[in-house]
Copies of this chain bind each other. A is one copy, B any other.
Amino acid sequence: MQLIDGKAVAAQIKQEIAAEVAQIIAAGEKRPHLVAVLVGHDGGSETYVANKVRACEEVGFKSTLIRYEQDVTEEELLACVGRLNIDTDVDGFIVQLPLPKHISEDKITEAIDYRKDVDGFHPVNVGRMSLGMPCFLSATPAGIVELLRRYRIDTSGKHCVVLGRSNIVGKPVSMLMIQKGYPGDCTVTVCHSRTTNIREICLTADIIIAALGVPEFLKGDMVKEGAVVIDVGTTRVPSDKTRSGFRLTGDVMFDEVAPKCSWITPVPGGVGPMTIVSLLKNTLLAGKRVIYP
């Protein structure tokens, strides 16, 4: 069993991005600028956004955090999106999800100019990804594919089983894994809460991407020898062993599954760090106007 070290890969890609930013600045061009909009004070969201802002600083981006209280109206938030859309100093921006119940996430996401949608959540980017056209790839699926690429893991003709059908992981990563080329060309099976024989299906998988959000769902007896296992789960489970009072738990029962795998991602330190790096890559592409002129 070999560990896929997402933390190390992410660090390397950050260095690559930082080097490119240094070149951009040396050439007298504009520093890429990411804006993050955060509504309310949800603990998870606070952490995610803080990590994103810190990552921007590490690679030399300009970053701005815009905060709203929990009671911000949809109208106010849409006005903010409108301002960011036309602000030529802003290359890309994200509105951290989830939003309070009185605000439509679909409406906000669709209001974002798809050319600045570095989260890759806008229907134009989702559609272009599905069609195999250049686009801002949604961060977690892009991070998964990048890990497979960096570790040169063979995908062509392999059976990839995706656990979960969410809009932000399950559906897009399954679309990426069936695309022509590398990484891709997989036979892909998408399983979810309605799947009846999930164990049997997992046992036929060469690659398993677990994104159900069910802690330690994937057990040792569900994985065949030599499989590649990518764990996307990051559920916060209470713990008396950490200072924060919780620990991040993946969808994979690591101790049981790892010994059977050829490759496996840990949680934390696997897919998580790659997600932020994907966001940085999209912001760099946005700054350079590579995908949309």
Interface, chain A (partner B; CB < 8 A): 106, 122-128, 130-133, 156-157, 165, 167, 171-172, 174-175, 178, 180, 185-192, 194-196, 201
* Majority secondary structure, A binding face: mixed
Partner of A190, one of B128, B188, B195: B188
Q: A236 CB to closest chain B CB, in angstroms?
A: 25
When chains A and B are docked, how far (Å) is the Cα of A284 from the Cα of B111?
26
Q: A115 CB to closest chain B CB, in angstroms?
A: 13
Partner of A127, one of B123, B132, B188: B123
Given the complex, which residues of B lie within 8 Å of A157, measured CB to CB?
Answer: 194-196
Q: A165-B180, A187-B194 are in contact. List 6 more A-B contacts (CB 8 A).
A: A126-B131, A130-B130, A130-B171, A130-B172, A130-B175, A189-B189
Partner of A126, one of B122, B130, B156, B190: B130
A-B pairs with beta carbons under 8 Å apart, 19 shown: A123-B126, A123-B127, A123-B128, A124-B124, A126-B130, A127-B130, A130-B130, A130-B171, A132-B167, A157-B194, A157-B195, A165-B180, A171-B175, A174-B190, A185-B194, A187-B190, A187-B192, A187-B196, A189-B190
Q: Nearest CB to that of A188 among chain B residues?
A: B190
Do residues B192 and A178 form an inter-chain contact, with CB atoms below 8 A? yes
When chains A and B are docked, how far (Å) is the Cα of A174 from the Cα of B188?
10
Q: Nearest CB to that of A156 among chain B residues?
A: B194
Do residues B133 and A122 form an inter-chain contact, with CB atoms below 8 A? no
Q: Nearest CB to that of A198 among chain B residues?
A: B187
Q: Nearest CB to that of A184 among chain B residues?
A: B194
Q: A177 CB to closest chain B CB, in angstroms?
A: 9
Given the complex, which residues of B lie within 8 Å of A128, measured CB to CB?
Answer: 123, 126-127
Q: A285 CB to closest chain B CB, in angstroms?
A: 17
Q: Nearest CB to that of A129 among chain B residues?
A: B127
Do residues A190 and B178 form an inter-chain contact, with CB atoms below 8 A? yes
Do residues B190 and A165 form an inter-chain contact, with CB atoms below 8 A? no
Given the complex, which residues of B lie within 8 Å of A189, measured CB to CB?
Answer: 187-190
Q: A194 CB to closest chain B CB, in angstroms?
A: 4
Q: A46 CB to closest chain B CB, in angstroms?
A: 26
When chains A and B are docked, how far (Å) is the Cα of A177 from the Cα of B104?
25
When chains A and B are docked, how far (Å) is the Cα of A188 from the Cα of B191?
7
Given the complex, which residues of B lie within 8 Å of A131, measured CB to CB?
Answer: 106, 123, 126, 167, 171
A178-B165 contact given A131-B123, A171-B130, A187-B194, CB 8 Å threshold: yes
Q: A101 CB to closest chain B CB, in angstroms?
A: 18
The 5 A-B residue pairs with the shortest CB-CB distance in the complex, in nearest-first order:
A127-B127, A123-B127, A126-B127, A189-B189, A187-B195
